[in-house]
Every structure is written in C-alpha cells, then in structure tokens.
Structure 1
Amino acid sequence: MKLLIVEDDVRIADVVRRTLSEAGYAVDVVHTAPAGVEAFEIETYDLVVLDLMLPGLPRGGMDVCARIRELNHDIPVLMLTALDSTRKRVEGLDAGADDYLVKPFHLVELVARVRALLRRAPRAHAPILTAQGVALDPATRTATRNGRVIVLTAKEFAVLEYLMSNAGHIVSASELIDHAWDSNYDGYSNVVQTYIRYVRQKLTVAGETDVIETRRGAGYVIAADR
C-alpha cells in the first residue's frame, strides 16, 4: 500500500517516513500544502498523513483535506497537529479527516492508527485474489498456495499483491517499483528481480510449477485462472 505524508517539519516527516516504510508501506513525502494537493492529484494513494499547519495555502492542511475530499470521499486521512484544542480537532474532522493525532506522539500509536484506518477503508474489504492455486487476502495480509500458508514480508506481499491484481497482464519492473516502493526510490536497479526471486522461492515447493513468468524485456506475469 502507498501512503502520502504532507508535513512541513523535515525532521518529523523523515521519522514518520522511516517508521511507516519499516512497517511495510511505500511512502511519498511532500512539505507544503500545494505540493500535497499536487501529489494527490497525480498519484494514487491508500492513505494520507496530513499536518494541519502547512505553508502555501490560507488554511494549510484544512485546504489540502478539503481538496482530497473533493477528489476522493473514501481515502483515509490522518491529521497531525501540535494544536491540542477541541476546536481544532473538530475543525479537522469537519474538513474531512478520519482521525486526529496530536504532536508529540508515539510512533507505535501512529502505525496502529494507520493500520486501523486502512482496515476500515473500502480497499480493506477487497475480495481475496486467486490465481494458479495462490490465494491472497489483502484485508488480513495472508497468502496460501494449494492450502499451504506462505509467510511473506511486507515488501514481498506488496509485490505479489500487485502481480495478482493484474493477473493475465504483464507488469513491468517500473510498475512494481511504483507500487511497492515510494516514487523517489533510487536504490539498486535489480531490486525487483531480487524480490521476484524471494517470492518464487516461497511460493514453490518440490513438484510445483512457478506461478510467476518472466517476459524478458517486458516484465512479469501471473496467468489468470480460466
């Protein structure tokens, strides 16, 4: 899942980004209200972590939240602020935020609130993905093959989920990076190949065929069930 952080304090933004990345999410970060609106208009996100006091627009995070709600009524928005007052919390919720977290906050609580919001989001009720004997449940983040439980890391799950969501279609390495890593990823170029190998090893035992097919020069594909 891909998250957007809109936070003008670079230090806080970096801590939140690293924390959520370690929890298995792909995370993009911007630091102003206009940049937050632009990012949301261009990219597809599953949740937004939004600071209230942002530069660039008259009402800061309130204006960003209002624009998000114009474009998408369902995406969860977790608002962050140093202002601990009932009036500000009410204003944030009225602007369209789903939850409110006052700074300073514990990072474990941040992650717990993100998980709770994602469970309640429409995406959390997505049907179980099935292809070639593999079943993937996005809500519980569990995977099986022919009834056998497959233990996947968060990144491996994200890679397999995107392939199965596009079963029958070739998925390029750049598409997988955009889905499972953040848009600023600049790591080593064969990261997708490496994670495809990890997933293949976990999905396949002796006597089973490989469900992920490599199309050289194009990408990867899992055949859809007929």
Structure 2
Amino acid sequence: MNKILVIEDEQKLAKFLELELQYEGYEVVVVNDGVTGLATAKEINPDLILLDWMLPRISGLEICRRLRTSGSKVPIILLTAKDEINDRVAGLDAGADDYILKPFNVPELLARFRAHLRRSNEEDPDQLHFLDLSLNRRTREVKRGQRSIELTATEYDLMEYLISNPRQVLTRDQILHKVWGYDFGGDSNIIEVYVRYLRLKLESNKEKRIIQTVRGVGYVLKE
C-alpha cells in the first residue's frame, strides 16, 4: 500500500482527496499547513506528496525546495490554480515532478499518481521503506525518519530481512537460516538478543515499536 501525503489547506478539498485516495487503496495522511506538512514529510517518508502551492506559514514552493535540499527524492505533484507558464517553470525548478491545475479531473490525477509511483519504484529497487523506516541495500544506510541509524553487520542483515518481508510473520527458523546460516550452532537466544539491539536503536527517540513479537513463532515488522 503506497502512502500519500496530502498537504492542502482547503478543508473540503482535503477531505475529498482523502476519501477518493483511500477508496483507490492508498494510505493517506492529510495536513493543512506548510510547517506541519514539511515536518510530516520528513517524519513519515511518504511514497508521493500532493502539495498545494498556496499554504499557510510555508508555501508549497518552499516545501519543495527544502525537501530537495535535504536530499528527498519523493515524487511531488503541485496542485494549484496558477496557470501561467512562469508559474509552472517556478514549480518545476523548485523540485516538483508534476503540476496539475484546479479544478482537476480525478481520473487524470490518479493516472499521474500511478505513473509517478511506478517510475519511483522502478528507479531504485534497492531502496526499501516501511512507515518512517528506510533501508538502502546499495549503501547499507538505515534511517528512521531523517535520523540515521548505525547498525552492525548482523543487525543490518536482520533488519534487511524484516523490511524485505513487511507484515509477514517470520519464524525463528527462517530468521536463523537467512541471517546466521543453516549451519549456525550458536546460542539459541541469538535472535532475541539482536531483536533487542534493533529495538533499542529504532526506538531511541521514543518512536513507535515496529518489530513485533509473535509468541511461540517469531517476529513481524508491522504497525
């Protein structure tokens, strides 16, 4: 399920978009001002942002600039009534990927969502996400929101296995075989020890627990 962040200050339009996107099967987070929108974008690491240009406190254009400056590559679609060529150029130069005018056609908006999400998934198959957790297989970088998490080699292998199989219960035997190898003959409590290490690092800023214990079976990465 792709996560969409909608940053829109018109309450009725924001609610309409939320209901329409949920109906299409997206997970939707809605915020109504620029400052909260920027903070939420950094916190939840969405798959796509639908961003109104004219927002209270910080404009959509400034949000684009700040996200791109921070290194974010999330697809951003600007939603606005501004239809001058100079406005479109300014939006794209600020870092937006696309531009749609109000009033808009819902099927067209959804088609653009699908195109950008498909392109985003194709561009970086090594980048894995779950909620606000991200892992890059190529660089071995792990983040919770914008916070970098330093992992040992074994911690990373365990984390990669969990995030590669989100919401799937992984048995202790599966984890042992995948992370430690079929011929592992060490401490039978090794998985519990390393899950505790990961939880301490993932929750060091009092974040919600996402590695859940399934008693008598194993572990699962879920809300």
TM > 0.5 between the two? Answer: yes
Q: Which residue of 1 aligns with 2:113?
A: 114
Q: Which amino acid aligns with 1:97?
A: A
Match of 2:210 in 1: none
Work out the CA distance in 2 between the residues paired with 1:39 and 1:73: 13
Secondary structure in structure 1 of the residue aligned to 2:96: coil
Cα shift readout 1:144-199 (whole Å, capped 9, x = no counterpart)? xxxxxxxxxxxxxxxx96235988499xxxxxxxxxxxxxxxxxxxxxxxxxxxxx
Q: CA distance change for structure 1 residues 73 and 39 in 2, over 3 Å: closer, same or farther?
A: closer
Please name the residue that 1:162 is paired with: 166
The equivalent residue for 1:101 is 100
Q: Which runs of 5+ in 1 are unaligned?
A: 130-159, 171-213
- Cα–Cα, structure 1 residues 165 and 99, in superposed 2: closer, same or farther, change >3 Å? farther
Contact preservation (8 Å) 1:4, 1:28: yes
Q: Which residue of 1 aligns with 2:44?
A: 43
* Alpha-carbon shift at residue 125 of structure 1 (Å): 5.1
**1:48 match: secondary structure:** strand
Q: Number of aligned pairs?
A: 148
Partner of 2:68: 69
SS of residue paired to 1:105: coil
Give the Å deviation of 1:221: 3.7
* Aligned residue type for 1:162: P
Larger Rg: 2
2:169–2:218 CA contact under 8 A, matched in 1: no
**Cα distance in 2 for residues equivalent to 1:20 and 1:219:** 34
The answer to whether the aligner puts 1:55 opposite 2:59 as a matched pair is no
State the match for 1:6 in structure 2.
7
Q: Secondary structure at the residue paired with 1:12?
A: helix
Q: Kindly state the Cα deviation for residue 99 of structure 1 after the two structures are TM-superposed.
A: 0.4
SS in 2 for 1:121: helix
Q: Given that residues 48 and 74 in structure 2 are in contact (C-alpha distance below 8 angstroms), is that contact kept between their aligned partners in structure 1?
A: yes
Gaps of 5+ in 2: 129-163, 176-190, 193-212
Distance of 1:165 and 1:91 partners within structure 2:
47
Matched, 1:22 2:23: yes
CA contact (8 A) 1:33 1:61 kept: yes
Identity of aligned residues (%): 40
Q: Give the deviation of 1:105 after TM superposition.
A: 0.4
Secondary structure of the structure 1 residue equivalent to 2:100:
strand
Provide Cα deviations, 1:45-68, integer angstroms capped at 9, x if missing partner.
1110000011102xx111111111
TM-score of the aligned structures, taking structure 1 as reference length: 0.57
Find the aligned partners of 1:126 and 1:79 in 2 and give their Cα distance: 25
Summarize the Cα distance change of 1:162–1:13 in structure 2 as closer, same or farther, 3 Å threshold.
Answer: same
Q: Is the contact made by 1:76 and 1:121 (CA closer than 8 Å) also made in structure 2?
A: yes
- What letter matches 2:23 in structure 1? E
CA RMSD between the two structures? 3.4
TM-score scaled by structure 2?
0.58
1:85 Cα deviation from its structure 2 partner = 1.1
